Amino acid sequence: MKIIKRPNGTEDILPAESRDWQKLEEFLRTTAGIFGFQEIRVPTFEQTELFSRGVGETTDVVQKEMYTVTAKESVFTLRPEGTAGTIRAMLQNGLLNEALPQKVYYILSCFRHERPQAGRLREFHQFGVEMAGSALPSADAEVISLAKQILEQIGLKNIELKINSIGCPNCRKNYHEALRKYFSTSKECLCGTCQERLEKNPMRLLDCKVESCQEIAKDAPVILEYLCEECRTHFEQLKENLTALGITYVVDPKIVRGLDYYTKTVFEFVTTEIGAQGTVCGGGRYDGLIEQLGGQPTPALGFGMGLERLLLVLKNQGTELSQEKYCDIYFVPMGKEAETKAMQLTAELRKEGIFAQTDVMGRSLRAQMKYADKLHARFTAVIGENELNQKETMLKNMKTGEKISIALDEKFVEVFSGIEIADRLASEIQ
């Protein structure tokens, strides 16, 4: 019978790989907590209107990439990103009525129908943070500082911070007109999607991935020349804050991000380690989103990191996040009574946090010892009829070959714990 395979654009995370995921997620939670962010969990699917209204109807995400499902009379969409659902949850549950700023983070799966490639999947996982309530550039600097600390402390190399300001709706009006005038002279050379966007949202042309459109866009007007006084001041203060924090940056006026809710500050951390898709973190301000989703006008900002991309960069760099946890002791039972005793001792050790295992396959003595070696067990203990009668066994150090007699009584767990700790300390010193 033919084996059913996973859908294209998805990945299986196997036990050997999940250790790195767990280590990364643990680090993300800890670091976000140091900055005062608390975890929020939201549904995997939302009303489709949430994304069309929040993310933007002219974005690639809404136009081409969303997975939308009709269930009886209802239409839902699997979340393509984390911000819209998080803001919806904050609004619906009254978090924005509490003391500001509200600072939350999430680790979740997202879904986009696009061409799979290195670091880009149809189901991917994202760590993100959202801060609501502050309009100050110092909030921008804090969020960027959090992203930088995460990327540096997990060991990423060749990472560069790029920043830009895309202004507010007021100063973007003149910029949009300048873009329309510029691109109109080459309209027939633009892709079909960009021709449609030219009137509705010309800034989206700067984010097009079609090579011919990118070539046309390289000499397009720069948004920084059209900023109003408020947006210009905000951007200058952000740069001063980043300098004060010792954060190196490059101003890149071509960064507009791919979602319509962004205003003022936008930023990306990029790397050359994974080819063309080099962005490992992206974010910025979205001061109008909360009002757009039905709330009171409230400034907000955040960022998202793709976990697959982070792990891919770390792998390419040869950076190890975690090490395999090896078995502390493997019991080798011979006979029914010995199996029962081994099961009891294994259970007692596990209650104390010791990684203990015993045979559940009915293997021979030789096969069990071979399996214990595959597990990289630190110690083995054979339990047979003689050991049960004498109420003691020999504890074998699988690395040194040394054997120690240990009683099979109520003090076994206590005695073994002392031996195991002493052996671990000795290994660390060596």
Rg (CA), the chain: 28
Q: Which residue has the higher pLDDT, 301 or 188?
A: 301
Categorize the per-residue pLDDT at 90 as very low, low, confident or very high, splitting at 50, 70 and 90.
very high
pLDDT in tens, 139-171: 999 999 999 999 999 988 889 999 999 999 888
Residue 327: per-residue pLDDT: 94
Categorize the per-residue pLDDT at 75 as very low, low, confident or very high, splitting at 50, 70 and 90.
confident
Categorize the per-residue pLDDT at 58 as very low, low, confident or very high, splitting at 50, 70 and 90.
low
Q: In what order do the strands lie in the sheet with 45-47?
A: 45-47, 74-78, 67-71
Do the domains 329-422 and 15-168+228-317 match in fold? no
Residue 90 token pair = 């904050």
Residue 215 token pair = 């070539």
- Select from 37, 258, 234, 278 the least CA-distant residue to 141: 234
User: Does 428 score more than 60 pLDDT?
Assistant: no
pLDDT averaged over every residue in the chain:
90
- Is the link from the previous residue into 101 a cis peptide, with omega within 30 of 0? yes
User: Does 206 score more than 90 pLDDT?
Assistant: no
- Select from 112, 141, 165, 167 the least CA-distant residue to 277: 112
DSSP alpha helices (H): ranges in 253-325?
A: 289-292, 307-317
Letter for the amino acid at 330? Y
255 and 268 Cβ atoms separated by less than 8 Å = yes
Whole-number Å distance between alpha carbons of 45 and 151: 29
Residue 259: per-residue pLDDT: 65
Residue 314 token pair = 């770390």
What is the residue whose two structure tokens read 């011919």?
Answer: 212
Whole-number Å distance between alpha carbons of 104 and 24: 18
Indicate the helix (H) or strand (E) that contains 164: strand 159-165
Whole-number Å distance between alpha carbons of 148 and 281: 9
131 and 265 Cβ atoms separated by less than 8 Å = no
pLDDT in tens, 330-380: 999 999 999 999 999 999 999 999 999 999 999 999 999 999 999 999 999
pLDDT in tens, 383-413: 999 999 999 999 999 999 999 999 999 999 9
DSSP letter (8 states) at residue 62 = I
**CA 268-46-201 angle, 5° bins:** 50
**CA 250-251-255 angle, 5° bins:** 115
Residue ranges of domains in the chain:
15-168+228-317, 329-422
Domain 329-422 in CATH 3.20.20.70 = no
Categorize the per-residue pLDDT at 299 as very low, low, confident or very high, splitting at 50, 70 and 90.
very high
- CATH value of 15-168+228-317 in 3.10.50.30, 3.40.50.1000, 3.20.20.80, 3.30.930.10: 3.30.930.10
Whole-number Å distance between alpha carbons of 282 and 399: 47
How much helix, strand and coil, in percent to the nearest 5, is found in the chain? Answer: 45, 20, 35
Residue 427: per-residue pLDDT: 64
